[in-house]
């Protein structure tokens, strides 16, 4: 079986897993009445929409940890890009250079966003994720004035620009801005408990679209390597949501998902670098 067929199959599987997860969250992640429970999702996960450890320890909950670890891993990824970019004269590797760079930059914004969520846990009266949307709370006067809404919208725009560019490095600035405005607007109308599923679904759709539409001659070793990263990332949300207390909490809660992104990309990049360096003897001196 050739690399194109293998990669296409893995991307199809990972997209199916993400879509089924998103559907399950929409259908079953609902507020529970007293004494009522859901057999699908972990109750601790239902409270926040994430698996969060150390909730009562300032600056040490899962969201805070995501900020710290993401920053370190992004720095490592950017250093890797600086040292290895352009060393191999192969189109697939040149594409990998862009994927590594923009994914790391987008993931830094991802980590910063977790830092802001972590700060919410330190606010008096914080009681977990809301099953309403940000805009619904604005309309009820619970989220500040119009200035605060504008700041939130601008932050979301930057957040989405970074993430979308990370999975689609070739996206033009114009298309990136339009798409970021669109998904950012929808984001404001998604309930807190569904936000992670929404973000994951949007990024998966764009990533799969970009990868499946690559020219055939680009669907080589690196194509399969990055598809495997996508598959791993499509499985972790299921573990986090269904086994938060039994499994995910012992591994840092949501931290396992955040860590898997830059590590997965760096492993795929290094694996591809090694493959093409052996295949193409024209490796420039490090």
In this prediction, residue 38 carries a pLDDT of: 57
| Percent of the chain whose predicted confidence (pLDDT) is above 70 | 92
In this prediction, residue 286 carries a pLDDT of: 47
Each residue of 209-227: pLDDT tens digit? 999 999 998 999 999 999 9
Query: Which position has the higher pLDDT, 165 or 120?
Result: 165
203 touches 167 (CB < 8 A): yes
- Give the 3-state secondary structure of residue 32: coil
In this prediction, residue 127 carries a pLDDT of: 65
Burial 267-283 (b: 16+ CB within 10 A, else e): ebbebbbebbbeeeeeb
Q: What does the pLDDT average to over 55-80?
A: 96
Reported confidence tier of residue 39, pLDDT bands at 50, 70, 90: low
pTM: 0.91
| Percent of the chain whose predicted confidence (pLDDT) is above 90 | 72
Each residue of 119-161: pLDDT tens digit? 988 887 676 666 678 888 777 777 777 788 899 899 999 999 9
- Rounded CA separation 198/187 (Å): 8
Tell me what the pLDDT averaged over the chain comes to. Answer: 90
Residue 57: is it exposed, middle or buried by C-beta count within 10 angstroms (0-12/13-18/19+)?
Answer: exposed
Residue 4 has pLDDT above 50, yes or no: yes
- Highest-confidence segment of 47-56, 166-175, 271-280: 166-175
In this prediction, residue 284 carries a pLDDT of: 53
Burial 79-104 (b: 16+ CB within 10 A, else e): ebbeebeebbebebbebbbbbbbbbb
In this prediction, residue 232 carries a pLDDT of: 97
Question: In Å, how far are 127, 167, 205 from 267, measured between CA atoms?
Answer: 38, 16, 22
Q: What does the pLDDT average to over 163-174?
A: 96
């Amino acid at each position: 079986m050739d690399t194109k067929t293998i990669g296409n199959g893995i991307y199809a599987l990972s997209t199916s897993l993400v879509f089924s997860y998103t559907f399950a969250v929409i259908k079953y992640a609902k507020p529970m009445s007293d004494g009522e429970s859901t057999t699908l999702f972990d109750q601790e996960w239902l409270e926040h929409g994430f698996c969060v450890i150390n909730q009562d320890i300032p600056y040490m909950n899962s969201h805070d940890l995501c900020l710290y670890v993401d920053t370190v891993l992004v720095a490592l990824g950017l250093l890797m890009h600086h040292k290895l970019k352009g060393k191999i004269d192969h189109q697939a590797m040149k594409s990998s250079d862009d994927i590594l760079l923009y994914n790391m930059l987008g993931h830094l914004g991802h980590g910063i966003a977790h830092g802001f969520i972590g700060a919410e846990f330190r606010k008096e009266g914080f009681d977990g994720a809301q099953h309403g949307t940000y805009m619904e709370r604005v309309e009820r006067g619970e989220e500040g004035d119009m200035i605060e809404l504008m700041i939130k919208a601008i932050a979301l725009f930057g957040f989405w620009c970074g993430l979308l560019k990370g999975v689609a490095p070739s996206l033009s600035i114009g298309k990136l801005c339009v798409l970021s405005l669109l998904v950012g607007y929808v984001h404001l109308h998604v309930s807190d408990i569904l936000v992670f599923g929404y973000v994951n679904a949007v990024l998966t759709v764009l990533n799969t679209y970009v990868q499946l539409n690559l020219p055939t001659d680009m669907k080589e070793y690196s194509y399969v390597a990055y598809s495997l990263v996508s598959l791993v990332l499509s499985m972790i949300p299921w573990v986090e949501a269904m086994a938060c207390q039994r499994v995910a909490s012992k591994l840092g809660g949501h931290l396992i998902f955040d860590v898997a992104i830059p590590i997965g990309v760096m492993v795929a990049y290094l694996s591809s670098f090694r493959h093409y360096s052996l295949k193409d003897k024209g490796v420039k001196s490090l």
